[in-house]
Amino acid sequence: MLPIVKGNRIKELDQQFAVSKNITSVDLMEQASDAFSNWFCSNFEDRSLSVYVFCGSGNNGGDGLAIARLLDQKGYSVTVVYFEDVQLCSEDYQSNFNRIPESVTLVKADAWDGEIAEGSIIIDAVFGVGLNRAIGGAIHNIIDLLNSSSAIRLAVDLPTGLPAESVVDGLAFHADFTLTFQFPKLSLLFPEHIKFVGELHLLDIGIDDEFLEKFQGNSFYIRKQDILGRHKSFHRFSHKGDFGRVLLIGGAPGKLGAVSLSSYAALRTGSGLVFCAPEFEEPLEIQFPYEEIMVYQTRANADLSVMDAIGIGPGWGNAIDPDYFLSIMVRFDKPMVIDADALNLLAQNPKLIKYVPENSILTPHLKEFERLVGKMEDHSERIESASLFAVENKVILVLKGAHTLIALPDGRRLFNSSGNQYMATAGSGDVLTGMITSFLGQGYTPENAAICGVYQHGLAGEMASVAKRRGMIASDIIEKIPDTFIDLGIK
Ligand SMILES: NC(=O)C1=CN([C@@H]2O[C@H](COP(=O)(O)OP(=O)(O)OC[C@H]3O[C@@H](n4cnc5c(N)ncnc54)[C@H](OP(=O)(O)O)[C@@H]3O)[C@@H](O)[C@H]2O)[C@@H](O)CC1
Ligand SMILES: Nc1ncnc2c1ncn2[C@@H]1O[C@H](COP(=O)(O)OP(=O)(O)O)[C@@H](O)[C@H]1O
Ligand SMILES: [K+]
């Protein structure tokens, strides 16, 4: 998995990597700038475009100067606006300043007329991970101006003004696209920053994962290539028992759809047998839209030990007796998936938390998480409390949203890369519960069930949204689950 290295370690990483490859830091800057300009050329093919590059005094500005030179070579019309006298800038900035060809218009910010031709592109290379205070003075005025421009805005590594790990305080550049080097900086994944980050892309600048691991902390980014190796394979003689017997508990009158979506998602994820226990007086009379789902009674002393996995909570309603929930946890006594109304029940009865089986997977969205632990200031605080909750309670906490966080009981924090805004539709969380429960029932470790479930849920959402966009609904996500196995090469 890709380490999300902290901003304050990146300089050291840069230097050590350059030494290990027998190159200079300015060579690495060239590799980064080359990756940026290649991305630029394949996304903005019209060479008659005017490009304005804004350069700060550090290495982010150095990248900007190298990018300006490379785009000029490719035939774009390039203007560089810079802020600081060159002798006061970083060494690699100075090398690139000296290489700026005459064909690039070079203008100091205080002499710039503030004009940006219609249809131009702005590149922000003012500050990256070296930001150490709020933006002020002339830079503030120019960023303000750029933010109100109709031009397309690109940020190099990090939009200027965003700190690498915390929430922005004051002004920041509003990018339409952020092209970040090698790995995402943590703050690029915060919901508060979506208007600054725009569409996020990672650019490979040649630093291998093995080298990055030397600088890893507790945060990682889940990519497509991390999934295949976490899957189990089944063979020609596997029978439905091998694929697991799972139970989904939930669905009160008026909310049957939720648990029905979870159950159907579990079937599409590969479960051999899917049972559902809806919260009705006469559950056996319930007709599900999917005939493959069987009804199970969990009241009284029904044997839960015959189940390989249980997912509990979708549409369960708010009239559940906490003792009944407790009896399910005690009777089952293996990791389970806890979602929606079951999480609300935990929030209302905190004493129940100690009965949650170890390594269970809790899947709150932001509101449900706040009900569990109290109100939080911002995403940075949310990440810390999710991680603390997972460690203290020995559970896996899946904090849902864009870049869903999987907080593991050993303190690692995994951020998801798949999914998109079209998944913000009723029932898509119920689908996730069904998928994770299914993997757990197929014998995956809770960690792998959570990782594969979260990643593939996002991938299925991406696939379904290609044809449906904002018209996508939760059952469209379910229909694409089988395609995710094909796309990932999983047998
Ligand atoms: N391995 C990689 O990932 C690679 C990284 N690379 C690139 O390096 C970038 C990091 O470069 P960096 O460390 O030089 O920091 P950067 O962001 O340019 O700014 C620091 C300068 O800004 C100043 N300053 C700070 N805040 C300020 C403020 N509010 N207002 C005014 N000034 C402020 C501060 O000066 P100070 O006044 O504090 O002395 C300092 O001089 C990284 O984001 C990426 O683009 C690639 O080249 C190669 C591979
Ligand atoms: N912008 C987004 N990007 C990626 N995934 C998203 C986005 N918005 C929502 N999702 C995903 O959709 C699901 C929504 O779950 P939830 O809020 O529980 O919805 P519901 O209660 O309607 O089922 C989560 O898995 C979440 O990660
Ligand atoms: K920048």
Per-residue pLDDT, 281? 79
Residue 209 phi, psi dihedral angles, 5° rounding: -55, -40
- Residue nearest atom 19 of ligand 2, based on CA coordinates: 429
The H-or-E segment that residue 245 falls in is strand 245-249
Q: What ipTM goes with this model?
A: 0.95
- Residue nearest atom 47 of ligand 1, based on CA coordinates: 29
What token pair was written down for 288?
Answer: 């599900």
Ligand 1 nearest atom to the CA of residue 161, by list position: 29
For residue 241, pLDDT over 90 is answered with no
What token pair was written down for 42?
Answer: 């394949």
- The helix/strand/coil state of 80 is strand
Contacts 24+ apart (CB under 8 A), 281-289: 286/256, 288/260, 288/263, 289/260, 289/264
DSSP string, 318-379: S---HHHHHHHHHHH-S--EE-HHHHHHHHH-GGGGGGSPTT-EE---HHHHHHHH---SSH
Per-residue pLDDT, 285? 78
Residue whose token pair is 């559902």 = 276
- Residue nearest atom 18 of ligand 2, based on CA coordinates: 429
Please state whether beta strands 245-249 and 309-312 pair in parallel, antiparallel, or not at all (unpaired). parallel
How many angstroms separate the CA atoms of 162 and 222, rounded? Answer: 22
> In the CATH hierarchy, which top-level class contains the domain 2-216?
alpha beta
Classify burial at 352, counting beta carbons within 10 Å of its beta carbon; exposed 0-12, middle 13-18, buried 19 or more: middle
Residue whose token pair is 């999987």 = 406
- pLDDT level of residue 235 (50, 70, 90 thresholds): confident
For residue 84, pLDDT over 90 is answered with yes
Task: Kindly state the average pLDDT of the residues 96-108.
Answer: 98
For residue 299, pLDDT over 80 is answered with no
For residue 465, pLDDT over 90 is answered with yes
Q: CA 305: distance to chain centroid?
A: 35
Q: Is the CB of 286 under 6 A from ligand 2?
A: no
Per-residue pLDDT, 284? 76
The pTM of this model reads 0.96
Q: How far is the CA of 478 from the centre of ligand 2 (A)?
A: 14
* pLDDT digit string, tens, across residues 155-186: 999 999 999 999 999 999 999 999 999 999 99
Q: What is the 8-class DSSP label of residue 310?
A: E
How many residues are there in the chain? 491
| pLDDT, averaged across the chain | 96
Per-residue pLDDT, 359? 98
Q: Is the CB of 135 under 6 A from ligand 1?
A: yes
Residue 102 phi, psi dihedral angles, 5° rounding: -65, -25
Residue 93 phi, psi dihedral angles, 5° rounding: -60, -50
- The helix/strand/coil state of 52 is strand
- pLDDT level of residue 219 (50, 70, 90 thresholds): very high
Classify burial at 388, counting beta carbons within 10 Å of its beta carbon; exposed 0-12, middle 13-18, buried 19 or more: middle
Catalogue the E-assigned strands of 41-120. Answer: 50-55, 77-82, 105-108
Ligand 2 nearest atom to the CA of residue 401, by list position: 27
Q: How far is the CA of 364 from the centre of ligand 2 (A)?
A: 10
Asked if 81 and 51 count as a contact pair (C-beta separation under 8 A), the reply is no
* pLDDT digit string, tens, across residues 2-56: 999 999 999 999 999 999 999 999 999 999 999 999 999 999 999 999 999 999 9
Q: Is the CB of 429 under 6 A from ligand 2?
A: yes
- Give binding residues for (6S)-NADPHX as ranges: 59-63, 128-134, 157, 258, 315, 365, 430
Per-residue pLDDT, 320? 95
Q: What is the 8-class DSSP label of residue 277?
A: E
How many angstroms separate the CA atoms of 457 and 227, rounded? Answer: 12
For residue 300, pLDDT over 80 is answered with no
* pLDDT digit string, tens, across residues 389-439: 999 999 999 999 999 999 999 999 999 999 999 999 999 999 999 999 999
Q: What value, to the nearest 5°, has the Cα angle with vertex 418 and ends 13 and 483? A: 135
Per-residue pLDDT, 142? 97
Ligand 2 nearest atom to the CA of residue 430, by list position: 23
State percent of the chain over pLDDT 90.
Answer: 92
Q: Is the CB of 28 under 6 A from ligand 1?
A: yes
How many CB atoms within 10 Å of residue 241?
10
How many angstroms separate the CA atoms of 193 and 246, rounded? Answer: 39
CATH superfamily of the domain spanning 228-488: Ribokinase (3.40.1190.20)
For the chain, the structural domain boundaries read: 2-216, 228-488
Q: Is the CB of 30 under 6 A from ligand 1?
A: no
- Residue nearest atom 31 of ligand 1, based on CA coordinates: 135
Asked if 67 and 36 count as a contact pair (C-beta separation under 8 A), the reply is yes
Task: Specify the amino acid at residue 229.
Answer: G
Residue whose token pair is 């190159």 = 23
Residue 369 phi, psi dihedral angles, 5° rounding: -65, -40
Asked if 245 and 441 count as a contact pair (C-beta separation under 8 A), the reply is yes
Q: How far is the CA of 164 from the centre of ligand 1 (A)?
A: 11
What token pair was written down for 13?
Answer: 């990483």
How many angstroms separate the CA atoms of 392 and 389, rounded? Answer: 5
Asked if 339 and 311 count as a contact pair (C-beta separation under 8 A), the reply is yes
